[in-house]
Amino acid sequence: MTIRRAEPSEAAAYADCASNAFFEAYRATAEPENMARHRAREFGEPQQRRELEDPAFTVLAACEPDGAWAGFVALHADVRADGVTAVRPIEIWRFYTREKWYGRGLAQLLMQSAFEFARSRGHDGIWLQVWEHNARARRFYEKSGFGAVGRKPFLFGEVEENDVVYEARFGLGAPLTSPVSL
């Protein structure tokens, strides 16, 4: 598996991986109409090309030997959510692996790459938000060193859901001393 920075010319591959990985992650819990609306609004070559061309975004793609995308982490600088305490945080905007890679160590490799990228760019923390009912993802983020620091609404299709905001800090004073109770 190779982890590398994605280029704007890969917008179609990024969109395909993102849309399909999202579907695989949430198909069992989502209403089909909301799933279709969300995928149409969030994933497509134009949307992902804008992200790849935006200097505030970095997408680290995990590629199989044949070049197929197995997953990715999309990082967004210069944004923060309420509760985030890092001085110079970076957001994990999207974090997905394809279903065939679940449980095979790819997510840990992507998270390690995200942390290394953040540190190399002078960030002192990473934050993300995840659906409150996604127990598998929440366990992974907690094992990766994230602590819950708040909540944020998330529009899924036409339904407003609740996400948990997580933060991981590194450097001096890194451990979260008072994560919120959720």
Q: What is the pLDDT of residues 49-105, one digit of tens each?
A: 999 999 999 999 999 999 999 999 999 998 999 999 999 999 999 999 999 999 999
Structure confidence by residue, pLDDT tens digits, 26-37: 999 889 999 999
Asked if residue 176 belongs to a domain, the reply is no
Residues in the chain: 182
The alpha-helical segments, DSSP class H, found in 44-105 are: 45-53
Residue of 11, 13, 2, 20 lying closest to 64 (CA atoms)? 2
Q: Is residue 78 part of a domain?
A: yes
Residue 98 lies in a domain: yes
Please tell me the total count of domains within the chain: 1
- How far apart CA 128 and CA 75 sit, in angstroms, is 9
**Is 36 among the domain residues?**
yes
Q: What is the CATH number of the domain that holds 138?
A: 3.40.630.30
Class of residue 47 by CB neighbours under 10 A (exposed 0-12, middle 13-18, buried 19+):
middle
For residue 137, being part of any structural domain is answered with yes
Range of the domain at 68: 2-169
Residue 25 lies in a domain: yes
pTM of the predicted model as reported, rounded to 2 decimal places: 0.90
